[in-house]
Amino acid sequence: MTHAEKLSGSEVLVRGRPTTRQVFRENLGYVWRALRHLGVPESDLDDVVQEVFIVVHRKLPTWEGRSSIRTWLYGISIRTASVYRRKAYRRRERPTEDLPEASHHPQQAHSGETRHGMRKLDEALRALDEDKRTVFVLYEIEQMTMREVAEVVECPLPTAFSRLYAARRQIAESLGLPLPSGRSA
């Protein structure tokens, strides 16, 4: 059980609106994982996570609860990761940091196989453009509904589907794996 999970639950909501600390404890895992899969290398993950929660702290009083807090957090995380990635020259100055060396896995030790698999997936995700990657990560890894995904990325639902299918094709191709027929387009 993760730190966040231990501290989540009924204690989180106070009079309908959580505090930033409660949002942090409840959602750190989501934010951390989303940023990780959206191209933030592990070496910079702490800083970018902090950046997200600073924004959360500032914007929380304006959150109206029209979307779930998770959807709202993903919106902030995506924009933060996007800003981070735009600094292309920074990545190019430190190319060895493009691929995170290790990831934390709560249930199992970092087997070489898992680490290798995640590195391959990282490479495949990095080959996607930003729009496709975001849709893919939110749907396939974060398991949001497509409607939520479209809301987070602020695009029409058909566009989100189109990006998902294109991303699937590209990911499968990058990993050298087949997609089941009828599901790739």
Partner 1 sequence: MSDATDPPRLLDPAAGTPELGRYMREASELAPTDADAARLEAKLGPIFDGPAGAGDPGGDGPMPAGAESPLGAAGQGGILASSTGWTIGMATLVVVAAVATWAIGREDPASEGTAEEPRHHEPARDQPKASDDSISSQARSAEAETPPGPALRQVGSRERTPRPRRRRDTSGVTGAPATTPSAGVPNELSLIRAAQDALSRDPGRALTLTEEHASLHPAGELAQEREVIAIDALARLGRWQAAQRRAARLERSYPGSPHLRRVHRVFERMTEAQDRAQGGPP
Residues 42-81 that bind partner 1 (CB under 8 A): 44, 46-51, 53-55, 57-62, 75-76, 79-80
Neighbours of 154 (CB within 10 A): 10
Q: Which of 65, 66, 107, 156 binds partner 1 (CB under 8 A)?
A: 107
- Whether the CB-CB separation of 183 and 168 falls below 8 Å is answered with yes
- Smallest gap from Cβ 146 to partner 1, in A, equals 5
- Smallest gap from Cβ 55 to partner 1, in A, equals 6
Neighbours of 20 (CB within 10 A): 15
Q: Which of 73, 81, 118, 153 binds partner 1 (CB under 8 A)?
A: 118
Asked if 185 touches partner 1 (CB under 8 A), the answer is no
Greatest Cα pair distance in the chain = 50
CA distance 118 to 116: 5
- Smallest gap from Cβ 117 to partner 1, in A, equals 6
Asked if 9 touches partner 1 (CB under 8 A), the answer is no
Picking from 42, 126, 31, the residue whose alpha carbon sits closest to that of residue 79 is 31
